Amino acid sequence: MNVHATPQMTAAEQALIDTYGQLFSDLPGDTAVVVRRDEAVEALKSGLPTRRVEAWHYTDLRRLLSTVPAFDPLARAKEQPALLSGATVLPVLSGTVTSMPQIEGVAIRRIFDRLSDGSLAAQLFDGDAADAIGAINTAFVGDGYALDIAEGAEIAKPIELQNLHEGGQTHVRFATHAGRNSRATIVERQTGTGEALVSAISHITVEDGAELTWIILQEQPDDATFLGQTNIEIGADAKFTLFFMNAGGKLVRQEVTVNVAGEGSEFILRGVNLLAGGTHCDVTMVLDHAAANTVSTEVIRNVVTDQAKGVFQGQIRVAREAQKTDAKMACNTLLLTDEGEFSAKPELEIFADDVACGHGATVTEIDQGHLFYLMARGIDEKTARGLLVRAFLAEVIEDLENEAMVEALEEKLTAWFATHG
C-alpha cells in the first residue's frame, strides 16, 4: 500500500473497509485466515497504492479505482460454454462454487473449504505493502477451486476454470498443484456482465518434470474492474506455458509473478492485450530465475486504439546462482490513435555473469512499407490495416502450437475486431 500517510480515504477505500465490516462474519476461515484478513484490511486502511509505489508506476490505483460496487447477494451468473471443446468446466458463479465435477487424476476441493480449515492461509496476503490485489482479495475471498494433479497423471481433457459474475463484487482463488511429471492444460475465463469489482488470484506449483499450459482469457465488460494475480513456482526440468488475452474491462491489472526455482526448467509467456474504448490495462510481471540452466521467453503484443491506455512492466531478475540463464523478453505495441497511450518498463536485474538476457520494446504505428505492399495488390487501406494488426497478434497466438487452442483464440480475436476494428 501507499507508504505515505494518506490524509483522507477515497470513497472506494472507505467502501472496501465498510464492506469488510459488514461481511466479516459471513466469510469462511479459521483463526489463521481471519488474522490474514484483518491484516489485509489494515493495509487497505493505509490507502491504495499511488504512482509513488514503483510497482504501480503507471497505474494510480487510488485514483483509478474511484468507486466500488456493493456485493449483490442475489446475483447468480450462468455457466458459459467452454472455450475448448470437450473441456471439463469448473464454474464459480457470482463468487460461489455450485458444482464439483470429477476428473480422473485430479483431486478437486472448494476454496471455501480450504479457507474454513485454514489450509489456504499461507497463500493469503503476507504484508507486502505493494500487494494491493493480495490485500483486497484476502479480505473478501469466499470461494474458488483448488486442484491437485496427481504425480504422473496426464489429463487429456482441458480443464476450464470459469469466474463469472453479473455485477457487484466477486473475489475468487484458484490454487493448483501439478504433481511430478504430470501433464495438463487449464483455461481460466474471467468475464461477466454489469459494473463489477473482480479479483482473482491463482497460486500454481509445478513440480519437477511436470508440464502445464495455462490460458487466461479476460473479457470483462466495459464497466468492470479486474484485478488478477497469477503466482507460479516451477520445479526442476519442468515447463510452464502461460498465455493471456486481455480483451475488456475498464480498469485491468494483471500481475504475474514467476519463480523458476528448479534447474533445467522453462517458462514461456505469450500475451495479447486488445485495448479499446476507455480501458486502462496494466500487465506487470516479475520473473525470478533462481536456478541454473533455465530458459524463459516472454512476448507481449499490444494494440491500442481509442483512448485506451496500456502498460507493461516486466522485470527479469537473475540470481547469482542462476548461471546459464537464457531469458528473453519482448513487448511490441501498435499505437493506433493519438488519444491512446502505451508505457513500457522492461527491467533486467542481473547478478550472474554467464547468462544471455535481453529485452526489446517497441512502440510504433503500422509499418508503411507493409501497408503499401498490401495496397499495391488491390487491398483497400482499411482491410490492409486490419490484416496487418491481426497478423501482428496472431503471430503470438500461433506460438501455442496446439491447433484447437490457436483456433479458439483466433476466433476471440475476430470477435474483438468485429466490435472494435
Applying CB under 8 A, the residues found at the interface with other proteins are 54, 57, 320, 333, 335-338, 340-365
Minimum distance of other proteins from residue 230's CB (angstroms):
23
Paired with 253 in beta bridges are 227, 282
Q: Which of these, 184, 162, 114, lies nearest to 142 by C-alpha position?
A: 114
Minimum distance of other proteins from residue 321's CB (angstroms):
9
Minimum distance of other proteins from residue 323's CB (angstroms):
8
Distance CA 47, CA 6 (A): 6
104 vs 354, which CB is nearer to other proteins?
354
12 vs 327, which CB is nearer to other proteins?
327
Cβ atoms of residues 267 and 287 within 8 Å: yes
Quick one: cell of 30? 479459521
102 vs 364, which CB is nearer to other proteins?
364
Minimum distance of other proteins from residue 167's CB (angstroms):
33
Residues 6+ apart with CB under 8 A from 96: 112, 142, 143
Minimum distance of other proteins from residue 300's CB (angstroms):
13
Backbone angles phi, psi at 135, to 5 degrees: -70, -45
81 vs 369, which CB is nearer to other proteins?
369
54 vs 407, which CB is nearer to other proteins?
54
Minimum distance of other proteins from residue 314's CB (angstroms):
11
Paired with 300 in beta bridges are 271, 331
Minimum distance of other proteins from residue 274's CB (angstroms):
16
46 vs 343, which CB is nearer to other proteins?
343
Distance CA 80, CA 152 (A): 30
Residues 6+ apart with CB under 8 A from 139: 16, 20, 37, 40, 41, 44, 125, 171
Minimum distance of other proteins from residue 225's CB (angstroms):
23
Distance CA 190, CA 193 (A): 11
351 vs 373, which CB is nearer to other proteins?
351
Distance CA 376, CA 404 (A): 34
25 vs 364, which CB is nearer to other proteins?
364
Beta strands in 261-304 (DSSP E): 266-275, 280-289, 295-304
Q: In whole angstroms, how far apart are CA 389 and each of 148, 340, 406?
A: 39, 16, 17
